[in-house]
Structure 1
Amino acid sequence: MTDITVPFIEVNQHGKSFFLVNLPAAIVVEVSYAAVRGRDEEQGAVQRVLNTRRIASIRDFALSGGFFPNSIVMNWVRSESLSIDRDKKTLSITPHDYSAQLIDGQHRVAGLAAAMSSESDLNDIDLPVAIYVGLTTKECADIFLAINTEQKPVHRSLVFDLYAIADDQIIDPAAARARDIANELSEKSAPYYGMIKFPGEPPRKGGVALSTVVTTIKPLIEKNGVFDQVSLSTLENQSLAIINFFKSLEDIYGEVWFERQNAFMFAAGFSGAIEFLAARMVPYCVGRKSFKSETMRQALTMTRENLIYQKELAGKSGSEAQRYIFVRLDELFDKGESADEYAF
Structure 2
Amino acid sequence: MATKNAKHGDVETEIALGDRVRYSTSLVIQGDQRFYTLTMPSDVLASCCFATSREEDPLTGFQRVLDEKRAQDIADYMDLGFGTIPSSIILSAQPDADLKLVGGGKTIEFTYGPHSFLIIDGQHRVFGFAKARTKLRVPVVIFNGLNKQQESRLFIDVNTKQRPVPSELLLDLKKLADLEGDEEGLLRELFDTFNDDEDSPLLGLMSPAAKIKGKISRVTFNAAVRPILGAFANQSTSVIYPALNSYLKSVHKGLVTIGARETMVNATVFRAFFELFPDVAQRVVDRSGMAFAEKNFVDVLDPMFDKLKPIKLKAPPKSHKELASDMQKALKTGFLIG
TM > 0.5 between the two?
yes
Aligned partner of 1:159 among 148, 159, 170: 170
Question: 1:281 offset after TM fit, Å?
Answer: 5.4
2:66 equivalent to 1:57:
no
Aligned partner of 1:182 among 184, 188, 191: 191
| CA deviation vs aligned residue, 1:39-93 (integer Å, no higher than 9, x gap) | 859xxx9997021221222223323513312211112225556442373422245
Which residue in 2 is equivalent to 1:264? 264
The structure showing larger relative contact order (alpha-carbon pairs under 8 Å, at least 6 residues apart) is: 1
**Conserved 8 A contact 1:59-1:114:** yes
| CA deviation vs aligned residue, 1:10-65 (integer Å, no higher than 9, x gap) | 2234533211112222222222222259x859xxx999702122122222332351
**Conserved 8 A contact 2:284-2:292:** no
**Paired amino acid for 1:131:** I
Aligned partner of 2:140 among 104, 129, 148: 129
Q: TM-score, normalised by structure 1?
A: 0.71
**Conserved 8 A contact 2:168-2:210:** no
Aligned partner of 2:37 among 12, 20, 25: 20
Q: Rg larger in 1 or in 2?
A: 2
**Paired amino acid for 1:34:** A
Question: 1:215 offset after TM fit, Å?
Answer: 3.7
**Paired amino acid for 2:272:** G
Q: CA separation of 1:333/1:212 partners in 2, compared to 1, >3 Å: closer, same or farther? A: same
Which residue in 2 is equivalent to 1:66? 83
Which residue in 2 is equivalent to 1:207? 215
Listed as ranges, the gaps of 5+ residues in structure 2 are: 10-21
Considering fraction of residues, name the structure with more helix. Answer: 2
Which residue in 2 is equivalent to 1:274? 274
Alignment of 1:1-344 (within 5 A): 1-2=5-6, 3-4=8-9, 5-36=22-53, 49-62=65-78, 63-80=80-97, 82-85=99-102, 87-93=104-110, 95-116=112-133, 122-123=134-135, 125-168=136-179, 175=184, 177-188=186-197, 189-199=199-209, 206-218=214-226, 220=227, 227=229, 232=233, 234=235, 236=236, 240-241=239-240, 244-251=243-250, 253-254=252-253, 261-277=261-277, 280=279, 293-294=292-293, 297=297, 300-303=300-303, 306=306, 312-314=312-314, 316=315, 319=318, 323-324=322-323, 327-333=326-332
Q: CA separation of 1:18/1:260 partners in 2, compared to 1, >3 Å: closer, same or farther? A: farther
Q: CA separation of 1:180/1:82 partners in 2, compared to 1, >3 Å: closer, same or farther? A: farther
Distance 1:150 1:302 in 2: 49
Question: 1:108 offset after TM fit, Å?
Answer: 1.0
Which residue in 2 is equivalent to 1:341? none
**Conserved 8 A contact 1:47-1:103:** no
Which residue in 2 is equivalent to 1:223? none
| CA deviation vs aligned residue, 1:139-166 (integer Å, no higher than 9, x gap) | 2221221122222223222222112212
**Partner secondary structure for residue 162 of structure 1:** helix
Which residue in 2 is equivalent to 1:119? none
Q: Percent identity?
A: 21
Q: TM-score, normalised by structure 2?
A: 0.72
**Conserved 8 A contact 1:81-1:96:** no
**Partner secondary structure for residue 27 of structure 2:** strand
| CA deviation vs aligned residue, 1:281-315 (integer Å, no higher than 9, x gap) | 58879999x8762598388342596396876534x
**Conserved 8 A contact 2:93-2:118:** yes
**Partner secondary structure for residue 148 of structure 1:** helix
Q: CA separation of 1:271/1:84 partners in 2, compared to 1, >3 Å: closer, same or farther? A: same
Listed as ranges, the gaps of 5+ residues in structure 1 are: 117-121, 221-225, 338-344
**Paired amino acid for 1:179:** R
| CA deviation vs aligned residue, 1:114-162 (integer Å, no higher than 9, x gap) | 222xxxxx31x22211111243222222122112222222322222211
**Paired amino acid for 1:156:** S
Distance 1:215 1:162 in 2: 18
Question: 1:271 offset after TM fit, Å?
Answer: 1.7
Give the aligned CA root-mean-square deviation in angstroms: 4.4
Q: CA separation of 1:281/1:106 partners in 2, compared to 1, >3 Å: closer, same or farther? A: farther
**Conserved 8 A contact 1:276-1:330:** no
**Conserved 8 A contact 2:250-2:301:** no
**Partner secondary structure for residue 161 of structure 1:** helix
